[in-house]
């Protein structure tokens, strides 16, 4: 018999890879943070001697959910600027509030709050785009979650940096400082075509190529953004990015709400990834992304929440359900984005976009033990005929009971293990008092 650190025995396992498979009476064995086997429970009991055994009689075990687009520290701005369209939301409320409050401590404590919410809701990895990445990294390490931290770039000053070159210098210095930090990767994050000049884009492309970094950018989120680009540059934003050489397999385009058929073909041909944020797009009145068409053309679609200031939840279960329903409603086809595909978008597709699909996104031997247990015993999830259907259409983040990242428990019996809830609430109230004067 072989010693292992952890043996998890749920009622069901949905590994995501292979597609549409549900395993019953199976177990997952974990050693040194890696999955060493996914096998029938009877066989596991013969083969392994676990230091810890967790039996979850009415639970389904799934890969950790991956939030492909968010601004984590903006959790401290939850509800400060509701019911406004994107450009008014940014210009009149968010950017002024950030100018007045932005600091390393704001980012650190806002990211801690976001990490706590995400972990409790079954998210084990997030792709961020915000300022002071080293402060965000400290919060990520404290919480135990996994993150890809976007090195934000703008052409105008903020409390973080003075100009595009300053953003790049500080971002690349942060990337160097974080290269050996476990569970953290980085990418370049030029904010959007309407905030970035051609000169800055050229530098982003140069560094992305030299350092093999992904590029995470807002793209085609609103009609106003597209009209502005046509007026200033004579082309739509995506055509401008194509001309500059910025579309490729390392591109993660957040939103992609307003896309022509030709642009969808272009995304497919170039191997780009879309971070679909349905709740934020609806709340800001930006529109509904053509997900049915994107999926039909083979574009890799992941799911994101966007920031809590525009959502106002960092809830990947909610995004899965909404994404599936919107795709059906917008296309008039109930067969579009079935439950298994929505789950793929929140797991393996997002992992692929981050270049981490060899590590996370599915429950397979050799991958990191980033795992989530969901309790399906409640009345609202009974009876259960189809586990994957329940995960997307019936269950919610409140049914998450256990979360592991690399086999380390971050949530156990619905309790955070690495973060102090009382301390987080106290810090949040302090920031609320400061921000209230700006509201």
pLDDT 10s digits, 286-302: 999 999 999 999 999 99
User: In the predicted model, what is the mean pLDDT of the chain?
Assistant: 97
Q: Which residues 6+ apart lie within 8 Å of 376 measured at CB?
A: 11, 58, 59, 60, 382, 384, 387, 390, 395, 399
Domain with CATH 2.30.40.10 in the chain: 2-63+371-405
**pLDDT of amino acid 75:** 97
**pLDDT of amino acid 215:** 98
Q: Do the Cβ atoms of 107 and 147 come closer than 8 Å?
A: no
Residue 128: in which H helix or E strand, if any?
Answer: strand 123-130
pLDDT bin (cut points 50, 70, 90) of residue 267 is very high
pLDDT tens digits, 82-125: 998 988 988 898 988 888 889 999 999 999 999 999 999 999 99
Q: Give the predicted TM-score (pTM) of the model.
A: 0.98
Domain with CATH 3.20.20.140 in the chain: 65-353
Locate 346 and state its tokens: 């929140």
Three-state DSSP class for 83?
A: coil
- Rounded average pLDDT over 320-330: 98
Measuring CA to CA, which residue among 121, 66, 72 is closest to residue 349?
Answer: 66
> How many CB atoms are located within 10 Å of the residue 220 CB?
27
CATH architecture of 65-353: Alpha-Beta Barrel (3.20)
pLDDT tens digits, 7-16: 999 999 999 9
Q: Do the Cβ atoms of 375 and 59 come closer than 8 Å?
A: yes
CA dist., res. 65 & res. 68, Å (int): 9
Fold of 2-63+371-405: Urease, subunit C; domain 1 (2.30.40)
**pLDDT of amino acid 1:** 84
**pLDDT of amino acid 392:** 98
φ, ψ for residue 306 (rounded to 5)?
A: 65, -170
pLDDT tens digits, 173-199: 999 999 999 999 999 999 999 999 999
């Amino acid at each position: 018999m072989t010693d292992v650190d952890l043996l998890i025995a749920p009622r069901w396992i949905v590994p995501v890879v292979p597609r549409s498979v549900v395993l019953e009476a199976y177990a997952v064995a974990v050693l040194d943070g890696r999955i060493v086997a996914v096998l029938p429970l009877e066989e596991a009991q013969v083969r392994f001697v676990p230091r810890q055994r967790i039996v979850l009689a009415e639970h389904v075990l799934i890969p950790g959910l991956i939030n492909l687009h968010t601004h984590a520290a903006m959790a401290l701005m939850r509800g400060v600027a509701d019911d406004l369209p994107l450009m008014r939301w940014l210009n009149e409320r968010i950017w002024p509030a950030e100018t007045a409050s932005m600091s390393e401590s704001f980012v650190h404590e806002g990211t801690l709050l976001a990490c706590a919410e995400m972990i409790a809701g079954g998210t084990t990895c997030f792709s961020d785009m915000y300022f002071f990445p080293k402060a965000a990294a400290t919060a990520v390490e404290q919480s135990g979650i996994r993150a890809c931290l976007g090195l934000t770039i703008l052409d105008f000053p903020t409390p973080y940096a003075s100009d595009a070159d300053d953003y790049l210098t500080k971002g690349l210095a942060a990337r160097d400082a974080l290269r050996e930090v476990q569970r953290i990767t980085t990418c370049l994050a030029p904010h959007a075509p309407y905030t970035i000049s051609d000169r800055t884009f050229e530098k982003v492309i140069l560094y992305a190529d030299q350092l093999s970094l992904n590029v995470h950018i807002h793209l085609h989120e609103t009609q106003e953004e597209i009209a502005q680009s046509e007026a200033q540059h004579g082309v739509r934003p995506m055509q401008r990015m194509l001309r500059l050489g910025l579309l490729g397999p390392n591109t993660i385009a957040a939103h992609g709400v307003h896309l022509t058929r030709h642009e969808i073909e272009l995304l497919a041909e170039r191997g780009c990834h879309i971070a679909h944020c349905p709740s934020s797009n609806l709340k800001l009145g930006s529109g509904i992304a053509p997900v049915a068409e994107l999926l039909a053309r083979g574009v890799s679609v992941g799911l994101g929440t966007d920031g809590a200031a525009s959502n106002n939840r960092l809830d990947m279960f909610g995004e899965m359900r909404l994404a599936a329903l919107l795709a059906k409603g917008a296309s008039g086809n109930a067969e579009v984005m079935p439950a298994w595909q929505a789950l793929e978008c929140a797991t393996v597709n997002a992992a692929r976009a981050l270049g981490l699909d060899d590590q996370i996104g599915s429950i397979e031997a050799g991958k990191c033990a980033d795992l989530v247990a969901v309790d399906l015993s409640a009345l609202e999830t009974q009876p259960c005929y189809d586990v994957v259907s329940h995960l997307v259409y019936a269950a919610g983040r409140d049914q998450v009971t256990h979360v592991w990242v690399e086999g380390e428990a971050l949530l156990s019996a619905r309790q955070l293990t690495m973060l102090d809830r009382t301390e987080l609430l106290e810090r949040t109230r302090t920031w609320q008092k400061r921000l209230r004067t700006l509201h």
